[in-house]
Amino acid sequence: MTFESWLFFMTIWIAASIPLGPNALNCIATAASQGLRTGLWSVFGVFIAANIHMTIAVSGIAAFMNTHPFLFEILRWAGVCYLAWMGVSMLRSRNGGVAVGEPPAYSRIQLIRRAILISMSNPKAIFVWLAIFSQFIDAGAPLAPQLLVLAPSALAVTLAVYGGYCALGGGVRKLFAGARKRWFDRLAGSTYLLFALGLASTDLRRA
């Protein structure tokens, strides 16, 4: 891979990673409610899920799912239910007076697990990996050397982008401190429900 090709790949991957989605909202919400350092465990969960997505895409499982629509629909509706549950949970939250420095409500394992579940519940992520990688992999060349360049580059961007969302959440934590946090919970919960509605109403196989 030439430097120009790698630079173009990085540009495309950054553009695909930045738009706000369930992963980003989870990182923002976690850092806003529990602090930046704790929120970074959500980034680690996204990182693990990204590796799973990449493995699925490279191994061709995504193409298999695309030829078996019922499997895709099961995954899609599981994602709808999970995002809707997250939204309702935040809307019903009465924890409106969280103070800065309060002990975290979730353990590190719980935060990592939640981030993985949110990421894996979005089937479009699998096809984003598949589509982007397919454009930059030369089928006539050995696969391993190409992945040694593309995979670390994409994962580094993923860490940087979602780490940035956690930093944003840290700022939100200060802005919505005290009783104002209930307004953030309502906003985040409503956004989760919008993502669930969007996932339910969109045929991602044709997106």
Instruction: Quote the pLDDT of residue 99.
Output: 39
| pLDDT over threshold 70, residue 23 | yes
Residues 179-200 have pLDDT tens digits of 556 666 777 778 778 877 876 7
What are the backbone dihedrals phi and psi of residue 106, each rounded to the nearest 5 degrees, phi first?
-125, 145
Instruction: Quote the pLDDT of residue 177.
Output: 59
Domain boundaries, the chain: 3-13+37-206
Instruction: Quote the pLDDT of residue 132.
Output: 75
How far apart are alpha carbons 180 and 193 in whole angstroms? 21
How far apart are alpha carbons 8 and 5 in whole angstroms? 5
Residues 137-188 have pLDDT tens digits of 776 778 788 889 999 999 999 999 999 999 998 887 766 655 556 666 777 7
85 to 45, 132, 181, 193: CA distances (angstroms) = 19, 31, 19, 8
Token code pair at residue 9: 């790949």
What's the predicted TM-score (pTM) here? 0.74
Residues 93-125 have pLDDT tens digits of 655 433 334 444 678 899 999 999 888 877 667
Residues 48-76 have pLDDT tens digits of 999 998 888 777 766 666 676 777 677 66
Q: Compute the radius of gyration of the chain from its Cα atoms.
A: 18
How far apart are alpha carbons 41 and 202 in whole angstroms? 30
Dihedral, 123, 55, 41, 30 alpha carbons, nearest 10: -10
